[in-house]
Structure formats: C-alpha cells, structure tokens
Structure 1
Amino acid sequence: MAHFQFTRDLPLSAAETWSRLTAWERHADVVPLTRIHVRTPPPTHVGTVFVARSALGPVGFDDVMEVVEWHPPLATAPGRCRLEKRGSFVTGWAEIEVYAYAPHSRLIWREDLRVRALPSICDAPLAAVSRRMFTQVVKRLTTEGTP
C-alpha cells in the first residue's frame, strides 16, 4: 500500500478546520476532474458513504468511502475521522485528525491506499503524488474564504 502522512498548522479554529475538511462535497471544488456524491443523508456519522468519481470523459473510476469513525473536535478533545475506501479500483483508508492548537488548529492527515492492478513498485511514487495532491486540497479548503 502507498502510505503517506502530513501535518499542517492552519489559521482556523479546530471546529472550522473540521467543518471545511469534512464537507465532502467541497472536495470536488478543489480536486480536478472529480465529482462527489454523498449517498447517505446528513449529517455525517459512522456509516456515511460517499463516492468520489474521478473521470476524464468516459474514462474514470469511483472511490467509494465509508466513515467508520467520527468524533468531531470538542473544546479539549481532538477531532478524528477514519474513512475506509471500499471501491473496486481504490482501496485502503484515510484518517483526519484536527487538534486545537492555540490560537488555531493542527491537522494530521494519514492515508494508505492501493490501486488495483498497480504493482507495489509504484507505491512510493503514488504516495508522493497523493501526499502532494492532498496537501494542496487541504490548503485550498482551509484558505479559500478565510478572512
């Protein structure tokens, strides 16, 4: 599996960072060639399922994800969300942790992913590209509209 992790200190409160990063549909605004459809009614909870459809014309794939852990941040406790990737093409998991880090927040993003039919020799390049992409996703989701 391609494993990557990054940590970012962000200029938002933990609650605002959490809100922006877990508004699943908003990810489609910043991930090229991707649409997101949440299959379960709001609000997000354990059991929420959403699909990120990445495609260029008729060629694409679905990244099906299910929330298996959901603990929004509280005054003294960090937020933690774990997603299991349940697609036929992309599998693995992702974890998002958000900590209050006075006066702002700290994010730790961890992910392990496997792309079916991709040999394990491709894991390191896949992890590097994914880390870079998700770092940019986080940057855009947490800075757009920030005063």
Structure 2
Amino acid sequence: MPTFSVERTVPLPAEEAWRRLTDWPRHAGAVPLTRIRVLTPGPTREGTRFVARSGVGPLVLDDIMEVTVWRPPADGACGLCRLEKRGRVILGWAEIEVLAAPGDRSRVVWREELRVRFLPSAVDPALESASRRLFGRAADHLLERP
C-alpha cells in the first residue's frame, strides 16, 4: 500500500489553484484513458461522490471517491480536501492541500495512499513510482491550464 506525495509551488492565487485542482471533470483531461462522472449534485462539499473510470473496452477500473473533508483556502488559511476511495478494487485516500505563498503564489501538496485489491505487496514500489509520475503530471496539467 504505497503512500506518496507530489508538491508544487505555482504562480496562482490559492483560490485559483484550489478551483483547478478540485474541478473533478477536468481530471479526465489530465489522466490518460480516464473519464470522470460526478454522482452527486454540485457544488462540491463533504459527501460529494464521483467516479474516475480508467481503461479501454472491457479492461476498465472504477476509482469511486467521496469527499470527506472540504475546506477551501480562505483568509490565508490552508485549503484541504480529503477523498476516500470507496471502490471494489481501488482503495485508499487522497488529500489535496493548497496554501497561499508569497507573491500571489500557492504551495500545493497532493498526498495519496493507493491500494489495489488483489495486487501483492511486492508490486508496491513500482505502483508508487508510476503513481507519483502519473499524479505529478496530472497536477501539472491541472495547474497550468485554466
């Protein structure tokens, strides 16, 4: 069960970095072969559920997530979103933290614990490495494009 984090400092105000990172449908454009479907009416809040379906044809995995903490950045306070993975195969959690930084910049930390049922722990190092690269690229994509 690998746990990893991705950190970035970006030239965006915290509120804009937060908006880009928590716009769930936009994640589909940042993660290859993935579609996002929000299962609950907006706006996002605690209890919001969505599914990221990744794959092609019959080879797909659903990553079902529920927002369990929703605290947008405000008045200099750090923003925190925690997602619990509720699928049959993909389990764990993710946290997105956004903090205002000097010069109208933001510090972003994306932490994730990823468990894939039926995979032996021997593959954890490879899963962690691949996940760090995938989610690092996804964060970059989301933060670079409005």
TM-score range, shorter chain: over 0.9
Structure 1 residue 51 corresponds to structure 2 residue 38: no
Question: Which whole-Å CA distance do the structure 1 matches of 2:11 and 2:62 have between them?
Answer: 32
Partner residue of 1:5?
Answer: 5
**Deviations 1:34-73 (CA, angstroms, capped at 9, x unpaired):** 0000000000000000000012122111000000000000
Gaps of at least 5 residues in structure 1 are: none
Q: Give the whole-Å Cα distance in 2 for the aligned partners of 1:26 and 1:117.
A: 29
Matching residue's letter, 2:116: V
The residue number in structure 1 matching 2:14 is 14
CA distance in 2, matches of 1:136, 1:26: 13
**Unaligned residue ranges in structure 2 (runs of 5+):** none
1:92-107 to 2 correspondences below 5 Å: 92-103=92-103, 104-107=105-108
Deviation at 1:17, TM superposition (A): 0.3
Q: How does 1:10-89 map to 2 (within 5 A)?
A: 10-89=10-89
Runs of 4+ in 1 over 6 A off after TM superposition: none
Q: What's the TM-score once normalised by structure 2's chain length? A: 0.97
Does the 8 A contact of 2:6 with 2:135 survive in 1? no
Alignment of 1:99-118 (within 5 A): 99-103=99-103, 104-118=105-119
Q: Which amino acid aligns with 1:2?
A: P
Q: CA deviation at 1:127?
A: 0.8
Q: Which amino acid aligns with 1:76?
A: G
Give, in whole Å, the separation in 1 of the partners of 2:66 and 2:32: 22
Q: Which amino acid aligns with 1:30?
A: A
Q: How many residues align?
A: 145
Q: Is the 8 A contact 2:99 2:107 kept in 1?
A: yes
| SS of residue paired to 2:118 | coil
Match of 1:130 in 2: 131
Q: Give the distance between the partners of 1:57 and 1:37, measured in 2 at CA.
A: 17
